[in-house]
Structure 1
Amino acid sequence: MAAAKPTPTDSLSFCLTQLTAAAVEGLGGGKDTATNETPLGRALLALRTRHVKAAGGIERFRTRGGLLPLLALLRRASAAVPAPSQAGPGSAPSSVESAASAGPAPSSGPTPSVASSSTASLPARLRKTLDLALSILADCCTEGACRAEVRRLGGILPLVTILQCVKIDSIQNRTARALGNLAMESESCRAIHSAGAVPLLVESLVACQDSQCLQTMVRTIRNLADSPQHRLALAQQGAVRPLAELLAATPDPALTLALVRALLELSRGCSRACAEQLSLGGGLSPLVSLASHPKKAVREAAILILANLCAQGLVRPALGNAGGVEVLLGELQRRRGPSAAGPASQQPLVRAVCLLCREAINRARLRDAGGLELLMSLLRDPRASAWHPRVVAALVGFLYDTGALGRLQALGLVPLLAGQLCGEAGDDEEEGREAASWDFPEEQTPERVEAGSFRSLRSWLISEGYATGPGDTSPDWSPERCPLPPPPEPAERTSPDPGPASLRPPRALRTPGRSLAAPEEPWGREGPALLLLSRFSQAPDPSGALVTGPALCGLLAYVTGAPGPPSPRALRILARLTCNPACLEAFVRSYGAALLRSWLVLGVAPDDWPTLRARPPSRHSQHRELGEMLLQNLTVQAESPFGVGALTHLLLSGSPEDRVACALTLPFICRKPSLWRRLLLDQGGLRVLLSALTLPAPHPLFLFFAADSLFCLQSLVSPTATPASPPAVPGDPEVPSPCLYEPLLGPAPTPAPDLHFLLDSGLRLPAQRAASSTASPFFRALLDGSFAEAQMDLVPLRGLSPSAAWPILHHLHGCRGCGASLGPIPPPGQPLLGSEAEEALEAAGRFLLPGLEEELEEAVGHVHLGPQSGPASVGEVFRLGRPRLAAHCARWTLGPEQCPRKRALALLGLVEAAGKETGPLTEALLAVVMGGESGGKGPSVDC
């Protein structure tokens, strides 16, 4: 078959020549009789179908200078179009400048005057020329270099003029396509907005009936929404409502996809204008329906649009009425399921669900749809920690919903809230004013009229301490954005010190039930959690949720660890709990009273035990005052008739764990001697506590609490005792006594020894037979009795080292306090078991030398239990198993000169040393506590 005969239009040069001629000379010219087409028409058709479509064709067209005549041709063509009529009320502006300044186009019906004035009078040749030229330009604008060239050559304004003047679907479609391709770059997008194309696009969007043209218009609007400023401009010029109306009316799947993609772009950072237009256009119900669309792209876009709309409070009630709450909750639950995607896909839905909690009608739907459980799962998820502050702020919306609060408490909200008080800063993104609750929409009148229900609410807020006065509340108040009150005037300040506010609790803390009149109420990131905890603390019996280890630890960690003065609300919560009789047993069972004393009064937090953690300087004196006040509140409850009955029941009829907790807590909260003596001494509470020391610890700080409890009880038993210094050791080197054995050791002993003792090492030690016989019944029988040794001048002493024998020989010859007893004692830090000290003690007992035993024990105490000794030495001394040393260890442990940490560490060493043999330890501690051998007015906290 012969090849087709080449034609002139196969040459790009020929086509560019015709295009240039038409741009210069005009659109006229005769037709070719063979093809019934003008040369320009054939050139444009060849450019569109062959040259531009070919591989690399757009680049060749641009580099050969084709864009300049093409744009010139479009300018000539737009100038040849008849001007649109100005008669109709819905007609478009007569110029691009007026189009740019016009307001939103009408949203109903086409513009017949424009159609009749431009479409009917447009010649067929001009129409075809525009179609082909616009198609070529739109194809070229898919390339970045061409877009920049068209922008440089001023090609945007002719396109906007054609869009304004020619109301033909095909030309509108190609013009919008060219503008949409240009809008893929931000600079071109700005130029299109400045040229006033948006009102024209909106007008064409309303008037057009062709689905393909509508898709192109929608795509162009989507590309023009490339920045927050442009999205706002599109919404303000009425671009959203026509899209919403089309979405509600169109059955075309392709157009539906284009519409949801455009609405998704327009709703990013959703403005008020966007939300209003989408709602007025009836787009909410279609979007909810499309959330279950079989096509994933449509489904996910619709869901994200709904999530974006939640940023505007004015549309959230209508969104809930349309079923948006259930849709967003279901989608978030699905994304958090076993096949969950990453956190990034959940973030907009979490934000939307939290914003939905700001209106009562949506909170009810959310609660019924399982939203509370979902929010709680987010709080428990460490991977969602960045959203925890937002979730807690959302839960504040349920502050007055008793049923929801009960459900949240049952789900374990309180310990999670306590953990949030000192957590890491998370997603603290500020919402705009438009995101505030729509339950109290902003009034447009200059003066707001307060309804009776609001006055009642404000009165309740003031009475409960949530507001300090009428000025702190307004009809648009919502718990999640409690404003800070203005600072007091200088004349109102009660203290000239401008430093941080004191931790001293206000007077209202000491008398619960009165309204708070604090000058300031800080509202930081912990504010929502504290507000919810305060609401829980106002229940008749909040003990089950708030008087627990995790909840108390969270509150105390916030009070002591806040970078500035803590919120007075936290102090009120603690005061409210300690003043509630229903919480007394919970404070006892949970070791709450011991925790208050440890953390606030003594300054030892759980993280400081057993290893001390470095902490910045704290306001310990202020914390101590707060702790003493809270313990005083518990004392008032404990010493009331109800409290006495409750404590007696716990100690006598409670479980073993309750009995131990009660015995440990009593010294902290009981000051009446008749009460603590009856419970702790007469009814065996002290022995219950002592017997529990060697059992598995029921609390991480149990031994610390126990040491402090025993110390407090000792102070109660002997309140007037003064700190006693350690008893003087006879062998104290500072006051040595004369040595009576030393004269026997010189080269000329006086008197001369009449006896020598032979040790296993071969060492001979001189001695006097008479002195040795007199000092001990053992040696009297050995040396003066019927044993063979009575006739020997060299008597062997088996199983005795020289160091152990040295204090024995000194003692036999009358030395008391000469320092010989210190010889076998190893220095601090070295073990006593297996040492020469233990050997000497054993020998003193074997040789019936009780005085020497006592002297050696005092020497051990002097070396290992002195003022500079550490807690580790206490257990080492106790392991020797001697009652007097055990009592000495107990005295050192409970001595007032020890700081609380050393006291607790020493008790820990005693418990480890005692092992399963608890009798000696119990008796030693009992004797020291009851004997009042070392009292004191209070512990020293300087470790």
Structure 2
Amino acid sequence: MAAAKPTLTDSLSFCLAQLTAAAGEGLGGGKDTATNETPLGRALLALRTRHVKAAGGIERFRARGGLRPLLALLRRAAAAGPAPSQAGSGSAPSSVESAIYDGPAPSSGPAPSSASSSSPSPPARLRKTLDLALSILANCCTEGACRTEVRRLGGILSLVTILQCVKTDSIQNRTARALGNLAMEPESCGDIHSAGAVPLLVESLTACQDSQCLQSVVRALRNLADSPQHRLALAQQGAVRPLAELLAAAPDPALTLALVRALLELSRGCSRACAEQLSLGGGLGPLVSLASHPKKAVREATILILANLCAQGLVRPALGNAGGVEVLLGELRRRRGPNGAGPASQQPLVRAVCLLCREAINRARLRDAGGLELLMGLLRDPRASAWHLRVVAALVGFLYDTGALGRLQALGLVPLLAGQLCGDAGDEEEEGREAASWDFPEERTPERAEAGSFRSLRSWLISEGYAAGPGDISPDWSPERCPPPPPPPEPAEPTSPTLGPASLRTPRTLRTPGRSPAATSEEPWGREGPALLLLSRFSQAPDPSGALVTSPALCGLLAYVTGSPGPPSPRALRILARLTCNPACLEAFVRSYGAALLRAWLVLGVAPDDWPTLRARPVRRQHRELGEMLLQNLTVQAESPFGVGALTHLLLSGSPEDRVACALTLPFICRKPSLWRRLLLDQGGLRLLLSALTRPAPHPLFLFFAADSLSCLQGLVSPTVSPALPPTIPLDLDAPSPCLYEHLLGPAPIPAPDLHFLLDSGLRLPAQRAASATASPFFRALLAGSFAEAQMDLVPLRGLSPSAAWPILHHLHGCRGCGATLGPVPPPGQPLLGSEAEEALEAAGRFLLPGLEEELEEAVGHIHLGPHGGPESVGEVFRLGRPRLVAHCARWALGPGQCPRKRALALVGLVEAAGEEAGPLTEALLAVVMGVELGARVPA
């Protein structure tokens, strides 16, 4: 088949020449009688269908300078109608436009000949020229360099002028398409806004009926919403309402997708104007319906629009009535499922659900749709830690919903709130005023008579510290609208004191009750404020013990109180005081070791994280005073008739764990001798506690608590012992006595030794037979009896090392306190079992030398339980199994002047050393607590 004959329009140069000529001479030109078309029309058609669409065609067209004559041609066309400044959105159609509506529709190919005329009328020819030129320009604007060139050549104003003057759907379609392509550049977007294109595009939305034209206009508006300022400008110029009305008219699928994509862009950072227009345009119901659209793009865009709308309080009630709560909860639940999306896609939905909690009607819908369980799942999820503060703040909306609070408590909210007090959750994003609850609109309600229920609520709010006085509360008050800080004083008044670190780090404040606004100190409302408010609400229940008097909850509150860089919130202190003053919480404080925890953390400065290390933590005076006050509250409860009955029941009829906890807690909260003596001594509570030391610990700090409890009980039993005077070291060890054995060791001893002892090592040690025979029954029988050794001058001593034999020889010759007994004792940190000290002690017992045994035990205590010894040495000394040393270890562990940490570590070592044979340890500790003397003097 022969190739088609080339035509003039196949040449880009020819087409550009025709375009340049038309731009300079006008839009008319001569008619080609062979084709019934003007050369300009054939050139434009060839540019659109062949040259621009070819690979690299747009770049060649721009490089050959085609944009300038093309824009000049468009300006000539725009000049046929009124200028943009002379025709507004409501002006009458121009003469050109009227002529165009009478002409035939444009086509992509050659115009067919008419039966009534041999050539198209001038208006129809103008419309066709505009169609082709705008189509070429719109295609060129898909390239970035062309967009820059068009903006530089002033093409935006020409397009806006055509948009205003020519109201034909095809012209509007192509003009909007070109503007939409130009708006992909931020600079061009700003110029389009400045040229006044937005009102004209909005007018096209209401006047145009063609779906393709509407899609182009909608796309142009979407691209013009590229920044918060431009989105606000679009909303203020009425661009959102016609989009919502079109969406409500159930358009075709293509237009539906274009509309939801445009509304998604316009609703980012949703402004009040955007929300109002979308609601007035009837778009909420269609959006909720489209959330289940079969097409994924429509469905996801719609859900994000609904989430964006939640930022405006005025539209949230209507959104909830339309079913938006259930839609957003369902989508968030799906995305959090096993096959759901990542955290980034969940973030806008989490924010939307939390904002929906600000209105009562939506809270009810959310609760009925399982939203509480979903929010609790977010709080438990460590991957959602960045949203925890927002979720907790949302749950404040349920502060007065008793049913919801009960459900939240059953789901385990309280320990999660306690963990939030000192957690590392991300910062909560600040919401604008327009996101506030619409249950209390900004407009103040007229003054009206206050009902009795409101007066009661106001009294309760003042007593709880939510407001300083009646003037701070109106019937429009809500929990999330905290009273603003007091205004700065007038120059004539004295200035307020400098704010502390807590005030500087908290943007919102609450005032302390009971004072006038001018004299109140600011109560911090920082990141922990919502959690404390909810915990305070839970603590006001008749019996909050099941949720709040638990180890996790108490640890969270105490960690916040002691770890706050500035003064903690008074609300946290009120919660602790309220719990310790509630009789219903007494048994829970006993069962959970709460009283012991209060004393350890606040009074002694030992937190669970500090144990078992010996990390120093200074105890602040205010923390100690707080701990003593809380323990005093528990003492008042414990010594009341109800408390006595409760404690007696726990100790005698409770579970084994409850009985041990009760015995351990009694020394902290009982000061009446008749009560603690009856429970601990007469009814066996002390022995029960001592027998539990070697069992598995029911609490991480159990042994620390037990050591502190035994020490407190010892102080109750023997209150005259001064805690500042620990047992002293024996004087004979401080000032050694003269050695009586030294004269036998010289080169010419007087008197000369008449006996030598032979050790296994071959060492010979000199001795006096008479002195040795009188030292013990063993040596008297050996050296002065009928044994063969009585006639021997060299008597063997088996199983003795030189170091172990050295104190024995000294003792046989009358040395008492000469320091020889210190020789076989290893220094602290080295084991005593298997040492020469143990060998010497065993030999002293074998040779019937009780005085030497006592002196050796004193030497061990002097070195290992003295000033240079530590808690780790107590267990080593106990392992020797010597009764007097066991008593010394118990006294060291429970000494009144001992550091609480060292005391507890010593008890840990004693329990480990005792193992399953706990009888000696129990008896020794019992004797120390009861003040019974066991054996010899007590070393330091």
* TM-score, structure 1 as length reference: 0.92
* Distance (Å, rounded) in 1 between the aligned partners of 2:823 and 2:166: 117
Displacement of 1:458 in angstroms is 3.2
Note closer, same or farther for the CA distance 1:114–1:908 as it changes in structure 2 (3 Å cut): farther
Question: Does the 8 Å CA contact 1:824/1:836 hold for their aligned counterparts?
Answer: yes
* CA distance in 2 between partners of 1:444 and 1:919 (Å): 76
Q: Is the 8 A contact 1:731 1:817 kept in 2?
A: no
| Range moving further from structure 2, 45-54 or 506-515 | 506-515
State how far apart, in whole Å, the 2-side matches of 1:648 and 1:494 are: 56
* Structure 1 residues 179 and 504, CA gap change in structure 2 (3 angstroms): closer
Q: Is the 8 A contact 2:717 2:929 kept in 1?
A: yes
In the superposition, relative to structure 1, how do residues 11 and 448 fare at CA in structure 2: closer, same or farther (>3 Å)?
Answer: farther
Give the conservation status (yes or no) of the 8 Å contact 1:650–1:659.
yes
1:503-555 superposed Cα distances (whole Å, 9 cap, x missing partner): 9999999999999999x221000000000000000000000000000000000
When structure 1 is superposed on structure 2, of 741-750 and 98-107 the one drifting more is 98-107
> Alpha carbons of 1:489 and 1:913: their partners in 2 closer, same or farther (altered >3 Å)?
farther
Go from structure 1 to structure 2 and tell me whether the alpha carbon gap of 1:739 and 1:525 turns closer, same or farther (over 3 Å shift): same
Once the two structures are TM-superposed, the CA of residue 171 in structure 1 deviates from its matched residue by: 0.5
Q: Secondary structure at the match of 1:119?
A: coil
1:350 deviation in Å? 0.3
What is the CA distance between 1:85 and its match in structure 2? 13
Taking a change above 3 Å as real, the CA distance of residues 131 and 197 of structure 1, as seen in their structure-2 partners, is same
Equivalents in 1 of 2:99, 2:615: separation in Å?
A: 71
Shift of 1:84: 10
Cα deviation for residue 933 of structure 1 reads 7.2
Query: What corresponds to 1:212 in structure 2?
Result: 212
Does the CA-based 8 Å contact 1:632-1:669 persist in structure 2?
yes
C-alpha spacing 1:635/1:104, structure 2 compared with 1 (3 Å): farther
Contact 2:767-2:809 within 8 A present in 1 as well: yes
Shift of 1:29: 2.2
Question: In the alignment, which residue of structure 1 is the partner of 2:678?
Answer: 678
Is 1:85–1:114's contact at 8 Å kept on the other side of the alignment?
no
Instruction: Provide the rounded CA distance (Å) in 2 between the counterparts of 1:164 and 1:527.
Output: 56
**1:211 Cα deviation after fit:** 0.7
Question: What is the alpha-carbon distance in structure 1 between the residues aligned to residue 937 and residue 569 of structure 2?
Answer: 32
Asked if 2 retains the 8 angstrom alpha-carbon contact of 1:372 and 1:408, the reply is: yes
Offset from partner CA, 1:740-759 (integer Å, 9 cap, x none)? 22222222222232222222
Distance 1:429 1:526 in 2: 14
- The 1:730/1:367 distance shift into structure 2, 3 A limit, reads closer
CA 1:558–1:921 in 2, change beyond 3 Å: closer, same or farther? same
- Supply the distance in 1 between the matched residues of 2:661 and 2:932 (Cα, whole angstroms): 23
Could you tell which deviates more after superposition, 791-800 or 717-726? 717-726
Superposed displacement of residue 606, structure 1: 0.5
- DSSP-derived class of the 1:98 partner: helix
1:737–1:818 contact (8 Å) kept in structure 2: yes
Deviation at 1:856, TM superposition (A): 0.6
Aligned counterpart, 2:578: 576
Deviation at 1:844, TM superposition (A): 0.8
1:577 Cα deviation after fit? 0.3
- In the alignment, the residues of structure 2 paired with residue 850 and residue 217 of structure 1 have an alpha-carbon distance, to the nearest angstrom, of 110
- Distance verdict in 2 for CA 1:251–1:108, change over 3 Å: farther
- Contact kept? 1:895, 1:935, Cα under 8 Å: no
Instruction: Indicate the RMSD between aligned Cα atoms, in angstroms.
Output: 5.6
Q: Give the 3-state SS of the residue equivalent to 2:134 in structure 1.
A: helix
Q: Which digits, 9 at most, give the CA deviation of each residue in 1:205-239, with x for residues without a partner?
A: 10111111111110000000000000000000000
- Equivalent residues of 2:398, 2:404 under 8 A apart: yes
Q: Bigger shift: 786-795 or 432-441?
A: 786-795
Shift of 1:456: 4.9
Is the CA contact 2:727–2:939 (under 8 Å) kept in the aligned structure 1?
no
Distance 1:3 1:172, change over 3 A: same
Distance 1:729-1:3 versus aligned 2 partners, 3 A rule? closer
Q: Is the 8 A contact 2:366 2:372 kept in 1?
A: yes
Measure, in 1, the Cα distance between the counterparts of 2:461 and 2:574.
Answer: 15
Q: How does 1:68-147 map to 2 (within 5 A)?
A: 68-81=68-81, 90-91=90-91, 123-147=123-147
SS of corresponding position for 2:122: coil
How far 1:469 sits from its partner (Å)? 2.2
Cα pair 1:754 1:767 within 8 Å, conserved: yes
TM-superposed CA distance for 1:734, in Å, is: 3.6
The question of whether the paired residues in 1 share the 8 Å contact of 2:648 and 2:679 is answered with: yes
- 1:818 CA drift (Å): 1.1
- CA offsets, 1:445-501, max 9 Å, x none? 898997876555433311222222235445554323534455789999999786568
Asked if 2 retains the 8 angstrom alpha-carbon contact of 1:105 and 1:199, the reply is no
Give 1:766 deviation, angstroms.
2.0
SS in 1 for 2:103: coil
Deviation at 1:122, TM superposition (A): 7.9
Quote the offset at 1:91 in angstroms.
3.1
Counterparts of 1:599 and 1:103, CA distance in 2: 91
1:529 partner SS: helix
Distance 1:819 1:509, change over 3 A: farther
- Could you list the runs of 5+ residues in structure 1 that have no partner in the other structure? 616-621
Q: Compare 238-247 and 14-23 and name the one that shifted more.
A: 14-23
Name whichever of 466-475 and 534-543 sits farther off: 466-475
Change (3 A) 1:455 1:65: farther
C-alpha change, 1:19 and 1:446, in structure 2 (3 Å) is farther
CA contact (8 A) 1:106 1:203 kept: no
Does the aligned pair in 2 maintain the 1:97–1:196 contact within 8 Å? no
CA distances 1:649-707 after superposition (whole Å, capped 9, x unpaired): 11111111001101111111111111111111111111111111100000000011111
**Aligned partner of residue 795 in structure 2, secondary structure:** strand
SS in 2 for 1:408: helix
Aligned CA distance change for structure 1 residues 604 and 904 (closer, same or farther; 3 Å) = same
Mapped to 1, the partners of 2:683 and 2:273 lie a distance apart of 76
For the residue of structure 2 that corresponds to 1:157, the secondary structure is: helix
User: Would the alpha carbon gap of residues 232 and 572 (structure 1) be closer, same or farther in structure 2, given more than 3 Å must change?
Assistant: same
- Counterparts of 2:198 and 2:812, CA distance in 1: 116
Question: Structure 2 vs 1, CA of residues 189 and 513 (structure 1 numbering), >3 Å: closer, same or farther?
Answer: closer
* Distance of 1:152 and 1:109 partners within structure 2: 32
Deviations 1:336-374 (A, max 9, x none): 001021101100000000000000000000000000000
Q: Is residue 382 of structure 1 aligned with residue 389 of structure 2?
A: no
Once residues 608 and 17 of structure 2 are traced to their aligned partners in structure 1, the CA distance between those partners, rounded to angstroms, is 89
Instruction: For 1:453 and 1:238, locate their aligned partners in 2 and report how far apart those are by CA, in whole Å.
Output: 44
Deviates more, 1:712-721 or 1:434-443: 712-721
Matched length: 933
Residues 745-793 of structure 1, C-alpha deviations (whole Å, 9 max, x = no match)? 2222222322222221222222222222222111122222222222222
- Go from structure 1 to structure 2 and tell me whether the alpha carbon gap of 1:182 and 1:730 turns closer, same or farther (over 3 Å shift): closer
The 2-side partners of 1:629 and 1:113 are apart by 104
CA contact (8 A) 1:729 1:817 kept: no
Task: Tell me if the contact between 1:396 and 1:480 (Cα under 8 Å) persists in the aligned partners.
Answer: yes
Q: Contact 1:729 / 1:855 at 8 angstroms: preserved in 2? A: no
Report if aligned partners of 2:466, 2:510 keep a CA contact under 8 Å in 1: no
Contact 2:667 2:709 in 1 (8 A): yes
Q: Which residue in 2 is equivalent to 1:428?
A: 428
For residues 729 and 318 of structure 1, do their structure 2 counterparts lie closer, same or farther at Cα, with a shift above 3 Å needed? closer
CA distance in 2, matches of 1:438, 1:789: 108
How far residue 7 of structure 1 moved from its aligned partner, in angstroms, is: 1.8
Range that drifts further, 44-53 or 258-267: 44-53
Matched, 1:628 2:628: yes
Secondary structure at the residue paired with 1:93?
Answer: coil
Change (3 A) 1:517 1:430: same
Q: Which moved more, 1:808-817 or 1:725-734?
A: 725-734
- Identity among equivalent pairs (%): 91
Retained in 2: the 8 A contact 1:822–1:859?
A: yes
- Does structure 1 retain, via aligned residues, the 8 Å contact 2:753–2:766? yes
Q: What is the CA-CA distance between 1:938 and the residue it aligns to?
A: 20
Tell me the alpha carbon deviations over residues 6-53 of structure 1, each in whole angstroms, 9 at most, x when there is no partner. Answer: 222111111111111111111122321111111111111111111111
Structure 1 residues 21 and 623 mapped into 2: Cα distance closer, same or farther (>3 Å)? same
TM-aligned CA distance change 1:735 to 1:93, over 3 Å: farther
CA contact (8 A) 2:611 2:701 kept: yes
Query: Structure 2: 5+ residue runs without aligned partners?
Result: none
Alpha-carbon distance in structure 2 between the residues aligned to 1:608 and 1:839: 39
Is the Cα contact below 8 Å between 1:509 and 1:576 reproduced in 2? no
Give per-residue Cα distances to partners, 1:121-158, cap 9 Å, x unaligned: 98111111111111111111111111100000000111
How many Å separate the matches in 2 of 1:863 and 1:464? 58
Deviation at 1:90, TM superposition (A): 3.9
In 2, Cα distance between the equivalents of 1:642 and 1:314?
Answer: 53
Indicate the SS of the match to 1:501. helix
User: Within 5 A, what are the aligned runs for 1:650-799?
Assistant: 650-723=650-723, 732=732, 734-799=734-799
Closer, same or farther in 2 for the Cα pair 1:31/1:721, shift >3 Å? Answer: same
* Larger mean Cα displacement after TM superposition, 713-722 or 183-192: 713-722
5 Å matches for 1:135-214? 135-214=135-214
CA contact (8 A) 1:718 1:932 kept: no
